[in-house]
Structure 1
């Protein structure tokens, strides 16, 4: 018996404490813990559900717990109560008595008798007395914040930018689990073949109505299939897949992907080049460049050159006007991917958005001179923030008179989200269940 073996709920508590203490990314930590404690089968799904659900609804859970907590608790005790309450409210298949029993057992292992009594008492009181109503919150903005567990500053910002209804729809969508989607590597296979092979493996799939080389995975984890290892597809969100289309790739082009990790868009561009041309992919971090290279090798793509480089200084390493196309998928607040990384919403601030805008503009500035005349520069982000998106795009045009707006070329299914002839699109999570994403296109005169 492995000494490190832990129950699903003990493992969930470990992950949630680490996220709280170190602002670690939930997705990375979860994978580490699954390996470390050898969690397998349905338990993996339960662990993921408890961790993501507890983070996703943290503010709502704290609102419900507040009347039952009479004194300041140790951090781990508060998190234990939170994850237990999450299960009591949102998981139908687990009876309350089992949840409370497990919470008490964890409290016995981690704390003294007083804490055991406290945990037992609070959870039994919740079970007996029920939860206070969210209708007690009279301010509609504050209510939306607590109800959907998005910080008040963020809800206010979205309402200012897009109006109450759009902000509400976005907050509600962010509580839903995203559907996993894959992009077929058409240099090796086609969508019909992959659908058939995945179904034989026991997956439940459907073709994407948005992207012609994409499949939605309704049951199963695409990373666990042999087809993934063979490089038949990449795991990528549909919104993110749209970016490569905007570049209007043609054979033999030289393309710069200035902020490339983890390499999804690099791979897509290389596939669209069909073995011709070259994609030069840059990232600051050696371990991320290693990922891009491993990915290229898995996909069987030989037209990718991945380099460790700060793209803000890329002008020092490449000759001016040496690329036909440039993609700046810039560092951003990530507010479009809150379903996948729910921890982001509690750690970001107004100030972060301001400093990110400066980084975005510096990268655009540095790469602009590397584009050939007549070439296209695509600026994209996985955020829904007006300032980071339209604000940065407008500021770039103002600073660069040698660039002009260029109408977006995107898959037909996305065309009704673009204003006619526009060079920008803002995709919201509620539009078709993809990530929130911004894409804009500029042409060098």
Structure 2
């Protein structure tokens, strides 16, 4: 594809995102490219990078467009991105819309006038001293108080880190290999990796590669999983012979890791409210060689949890949340989430915690985790739960990490301060995850 055709396709992809603003952008993009199989891999990456670049800067671009009285149409957003973010001079931006077959139509007279106004108003580029703090930091208004409470004087550093590209992390599947063997197998396929800093199973790629096409992935030697997510599984401390529940399993990423720590011995149940996600989990479990796991679809009126009250050694609740810790991977979530969503999620999180707690046997553990950096979804939920359930107590992070170190002596100090796991892009180079280990009294 020509550069002009790629730009036109990026505009079309942004238009598709606007049609379904509440749907995850990656799902829309998958459908977009599936319907255009003639677009090759290199073109697909270039189109995606430009579209996601606009999405990542949408708060700032919208501020500028409102300032000059322009509507945020997909084509004008792309033109503004070329000017303000990519640094093209005005003639080059105009030339990027040449018209003709497969190219975007030329900017019309009103659009060109607005673009000239924008160029004149922004000699310093994208940022402007009159931008509100949230816009300047690329944080929506509904999330700014929570991020400020979380990071304080480190807010700007963390906000900047969340604008970057997320790394690609893998987890060596200990049911089939060791981390060192996985490194060697991947290297033989030309995929270089390095051990992650905290996870004893993790591998990080210096640059993105099509790992899912590799023999190591196809044979279940490795799984794609962020290092922070691996640490949730590590702290769950699922051991051989235990009965374990992954209560919000989704596509079973953490179920796979828990099965590996259990050595395929004992029983793990992956629960979720989505049948398609559990179907996807079945394929992943087979590839990984997991045979101590079963799946259960949670439905309205389901009495599964009541019938199994007090029967499990470990219950992991990876709760549905705002996903603010994964904004590097899902920049569109900044735009399709709002304060009403947070209020709804907080109610749901509390309900799930209360239900899942009943599954824990006396002396067992409940692990509450999110991929959110907002205190109202993290510490506030744990505090409220402990007020409701005095038969549970917080197991400090240092104690839980010490138990993990007994199994994996290579572990260094835990990420996070205090009694709770909290990872972040700037401090730890991984997605933002929160976890609390809650012990039920015997």
Output the TM-score relative to the length of structure 1: 0.87
Which residue pairs with 2:192 in the alignment?
204
Report the alpha carbon displacement of residue 20 of structure 1 after superposing the two structures with TM: 2.3
Among residues 352, 368, 372, which one is paired with 2:341 in the alignment?
A: 352
Which residue pairs with 2:96 in the alignment?
102
Asked if structure 2 preserves the Cα contact closer than 8 Å seen for 1:259 and 1:311, the reply is no
Among residues 186, 200, 203, which one is paired with 2:174 in the alignment?
A: 186
Counterpart-to-counterpart distance in 2, 1:169 and 1:14: 33
Report the alpha carbon displacement of residue 130 of structure 1 after superposing the two structures with TM: 4.9
Asked if structure 2 preserves the Cα contact closer than 8 Å seen for 1:144 and 1:168, the reply is no
Which residue pairs with 2:24 in the alignment?
25
Report the alpha carbon displacement of residue 79 of structure 1 after superposing the two structures with TM: 1.7
Q: SS state of the match for residue 169, structure 2?
A: strand
Which residue pairs with 1:117 in the alignment?
109
Report the alpha carbon displacement of residue 439 of structure 1 after superposing the two structures with TM: 0.3
Counterpart-to-counterpart distance in 1, 2:156 and 2:300: 36
Report the alpha carbon displacement of residue 325 of structure 1 after superposing the two structures with TM: 0.7
Unaligned stretches of 5+ in structure 1? none
Map 1:218-257 to 2 at 5 A: 218-219=206-207, 220-257=209-246
Number of equivalent positions: 426
Asked if structure 2 preserves the Cα contact closer than 8 Å seen for 1:318 and 1:370, the reply is no
Q: SS state of the match for residue 204, structure 1?
A: coil
Which residue pairs with 1:86 in the alignment?
81
Asked if structure 1 preserves the Cα contact closer than 8 Å seen for 2:415 and 2:422, the reply is no
Counterpart-to-counterpart distance in 2, 1:62 and 1:158: 21
Which residue pairs with 1:295 in the alignment?
284
Q: SS state of the match for residue 105, structure 1?
A: coil
Asked if structure 2 preserves the Cα contact closer than 8 Å seen for 1:249 and 1:269, the reply is yes
Q: SS state of the match for residue 143, structure 2?
A: helix
Q: SS state of the match for residue 200, structure 2?
A: coil
Counterpart-to-counterpart distance in 1, 2:101 and 2:74: 11
Which residue pairs with 1:52 in the alignment?
52
Which residue pairs with 1:8 in the alignment?
6
Cα RMSD for the two superposed structures: 2.9
Report the alpha carbon displacement of residue 108 of structure 1 after superposing the two structures with TM: 9.6
Is 1:415 paired with 2:409?
A: no
Which residue pairs with 2:41 in the alignment?
41
Report the alpha carbon displacement of residue 101 of structure 1 after superposing the two structures with TM: 2.9
Report the alpha carbon displacement of residue 135 of structure 1 after superposing the two structures with TM: 7.0
Report the alpha carbon displacement of residue 254 of structure 1 after superposing the two structures with TM: 1.0
Among residues 412, 422, 428, which one is paired with 2:424 in the alignment?
A: 428
Structure with greater helix percent: 1
Report the alpha carbon displacement of residue 300 of structure 1 after superposing the two structures with TM: 1.4
Asked if structure 1 preserves the Cα contact closer than 8 Å seen for 2:150 and 2:373, the reply is no
Which residue pairs with 1:443 in the alignment?
439
**Aligned CA distance change for structure 1 residues 217 and 416 (closer, same or farther; 3 Å):** closer
Report the alpha carbon displacement of residue 205 of structure 1 after superposing the two structures with TM: 2.2
Q: SS state of the match for residue 183, structure 1?
A: strand
Report the alpha carbon displacement of residue 360 of structure 1 after superposing the two structures with TM: 1.0
Is 1:333 paired with 2:328?
A: no
Counterpart-to-counterpart distance in 2, 1:272 and 1:193: 17
Q: How big is each residue's C-alpha offset from its partner over 1:171-229, in whole Å with a ceiling of 9 and x where there is no partner?
A: 11111000010101111122222223323323332221121211111221322323212
Q: SS state of the match for residue 378, structure 2?
A: helix
Counterpart-to-counterpart distance in 2, 1:100 and 1:438: 46
**Aligned CA distance change for structure 1 residues 217 and 293 (closer, same or farther; 3 Å):** same
Report the alpha carbon displacement of residue 104 of structure 1 after superposing the two structures with TM: 4.4
Counterpart-to-counterpart distance in 2, 1:361 and 1:281: 20
Output the TM-score relative to the length of structure 2: 0.87
Counterpart-to-counterpart distance in 2, 1:311 and 1:262: 20
Counterpart-to-counterpart distance in 1, 2:347 and 2:100: 46
Asked if structure 1 preserves the Cα contact closer than 8 Å seen for 2:198 and 2:415, the reply is no
Unaligned stretches of 5+ in structure 2? 405-410
Greater mean alpha carbon deviation, residues 257-266 or residues 316-325: 316-325
